[in-house]
Amino acid sequence: MDYSKNVIIYPGSSSFSPGKTPFGYFDFDAIFQEHADKFASFAANHLGYPVLDVELQDVNFYTAFEGAIIEYSNQVNQINIVNNLLNTLGIQTGSQYLQGGLTGKAVGTSLSYITKLSKAYGTEADSGGNVKWHKAYLSITSGVQKYSIREAVSASLGIELTNTSSIEIKRVLHTVPPAIVRYFDPFVGTGLGSQQLMDSFDFGGFSPSVNFMMMPIHSDLLRIQTIEFNDRIRKSHFSFEIHGDDIVIYPVPGAERGNASTPYFEKIWFEFLFEEEKAKDALLFGNTAVLNGVISDASNIPYNYQQYSTINDMGRAWVLRYGLALVKEMLGRIRGKYSTIPIPNSEVTLNGSELISEAASEKSDLITQLKEFLNKMTRESMLQRQATEDEASMNVLSKVPVKIYVG
């Protein structure tokens, strides 16, 4: 087979028009249109044209040019996703703020993810959250130790539980204490009781609801924690265990012990939540409007390919070099089809494998260099660098003599 008759040679010029790239992502970008033919000439000249023949067509150069821009955008978008995924998790992809995607937009720091995460903790601690804690009670019978949780829930809420309804007990109480007792107990003798505080300032004659002291909010939080801690381990003579769908009370209510019997309450209240509601909240991630159609991970955060016209000169330089490596790879595969070509009285060995190896090495080096540069642009890296600069500045300023004021 005559190699020269079966391979099309680059003619030295080209004329780009939309539709000549595989995907057409940038075909209508005016700067891309202008630079496509310039890139073809750039790459052909680097491969030896016009001294050497270059066995490529214009579409090969355009494909490499498009591929290089795609790879550049991909690397930049990966860093953007690392920086911004936490701030966009759970946002509806159809939101007006995401129209057109996030490419080329600055995304500020948001506490939306932390807020949603804190609500999950709030659910567990009964201090907020999106999952409702329910209340139910058990009617206690003297001498009976085991009671059905599901029956108590059905009777208290007036609902029929399904076989898939799973109940998570959060608290068990002798009775439901009023809020004023839990958070403002004038008779607490330990910890941060209000009566003790008022007596120390000779305000004991005033109503417990009157307080002339302005206290910081953390004081209230400490008091709440102290009261809840006492509720859990100090005030109750009873304990319980959960066995499947049953709750077992210890000691046996009303059981005789010597000449006395164990006291018991007519009702024991408990607070609980349905595990399927908690699971649903985890899937909704705090967004009660939709289950689907939200940013969930790196696969659907809306970063699109950057248009060539928006890439600065530094980025375009990388695109040229990476595009040239892709062209070398194409030419190497074409020449690799014919390992040698005949000439009068001899044959010539083509450099297909050499071009492929050289292209692979250049592509790897370029991507490594770009990644190393972009990794310096992550928020974490920039904050660390800023902290180092601030520390160095403070070190310099600490050595500056302070002026002595005279006058």
Cα–Cα dist 243/40, whole Å: 75
Q: How confident is the model at residue 28 (pLDDT cuts 50, 70, 90)?
A: very high
Same domain, 51 and 193: no
74 lies in a domain?
A: yes
For the stretch 86-124, pLDDT in tens is 888 777 777 777 888 888 888 887 777 777 777 777 777
Q: What pLDDT score does 284 carry?
A: 58
Residue 310 has pLDDT above 60, yes or no: yes
Q: What pLDDT score does 191 carry?
A: 41
Residue 62 lies in a domain: yes
User: Based on the domain organization, do 66 and 140 belong to the same domain?
Assistant: no
The better pLDDT of the pair 22, 340 is held by 22
Q: pLDDT at residue 288 above 50?
A: no
Residues 230 and 151 in one domain: yes
The residue ranges of DSSP E strands in 146-245, in sequence order, are 146-148, 167-173, 239-243
Same domain, 172 and 47: no
pLDDT tens digits along 265-287: 678 889 898 888 877 766 655 54
Residue 333 has pLDDT above 90, yes or no: yes
More confident residue, 42 or 5: 42
Which range among 198-212, 324-338, 366-380 shows the weakest confidence by mean pLDDT? 198-212
Tell me the HSE value of 361 on the side-chain side, using a 13 A CA sphere. Answer: 6
Q: Which domain, by its residues, includes 239? A: 124-284
Instruction: Label residue 101 left, alpha or beta by phi (over 0 means left) and psi (-120 to 50 means alpha).
Output: left
68-81 pLDDT, tens digit each: 999 999 999 999 99
133 and 277 belong to one structural domain: yes
CA distance 59 to 185: 82
User: 219 and 192 in contact (C-beta within 8 Å)?
Assistant: yes
Percent of the chain surpassing pLDDT 70: 76
Residue 181 lies in a domain: yes
Same domain, residue pair 70 and 199: no
Question: Which of the listed ranges 104-118, 232-246, 367-381 does the model predict with the highest average pLDDT?
Answer: 367-381
Average pLDDT of span 120-145: 82
What does the pLDDT read at residue 190? 42
| Residue 95 near residue 295, CB atoms below 8 Å | no
For residues 128 and 272, state if they share a domain.
yes
* pLDDT digits 0-9 by tens, 205-235: 544 444 555 667 777 677 767 766 666 665 5
- Does 78 map to a domain? yes
Collapsed DSSP state (helix, strand, coil) of residue 342: strand
* Integer Cα distance of 378 and 180 in angstroms: 49
At 330 the pLDDT is: 96
Determine the pLDDT at residue 207: 47
Model confidence band, residue 175 (pLDDT cutoffs 50, 70, 90) = low
Q: Count up the domains in the chain and report the number.
A: 2
Q: Which residue has the higher pLDDT, 63 or 352?
A: 63
- The reply to whether 211 and 72 lie within a common domain is no
Question: How high is the mean pLDDT of the chain?
Answer: 81
By the 8 A CB rule, do 72 and 311 touch? yes
Residue 212 lies in a domain: yes
Q: Is residue 237 part of a domain?
A: yes
Give the CA diameter of the chain.
124
DSSP state of 184: -
- Verify that 181 and 212 share a domain, yes or no: yes
Are 132 and 240 members of one domain? yes
Structure confidence at residue 1 as a pLDDT band (50, 70, 90): very low
Helix (H, G, I), strand (E, B) or coil at 290: coil
The larger pLDDT score, comparing residue 202 to residue 105, is at 105
Catalogue the long-range contacts made by 28-37 (C-beta closer than 8 Å, 24 or more residues apart). 29/307, 29/308, 29/309, 30/309, 31/308, 31/309, 32/65, 32/69, 32/307, 32/308, 32/309, 35/65, 35/308, 35/316, 36/61, 36/62, 36/65, 37/13
Last residue of a domain, one of 249, 284, 319: 284
pLDDT the model gives residue 200: 47
Give residues with Cβ within 8 angstroms of 225, minimum separation 6: none
Residue 407 in any domain: the answer is no
Q: Which of the two residues, 403 and 258, has the higher pLDDT score?
A: 403
Same domain? For 269 and 142 the reply is yes
- Of 57, 70, 91, which Cα lies nearest the Cα of 23? 70
Ramachandran area for residue 113 (φ above 0: left; ψ -120 to 50: alpha; else beta): alpha
Report whether pLDDT(264) > 50. yes
Whether residue 263 is found in the same domain as residue 314: no
Whether 109 is in a domain gets the answer no
Please state, in angstroms and rounded to a whole number, the distance separating the CA atoms of residues 284 and 278: 10
pLDDT at residue 180 tops 60? no
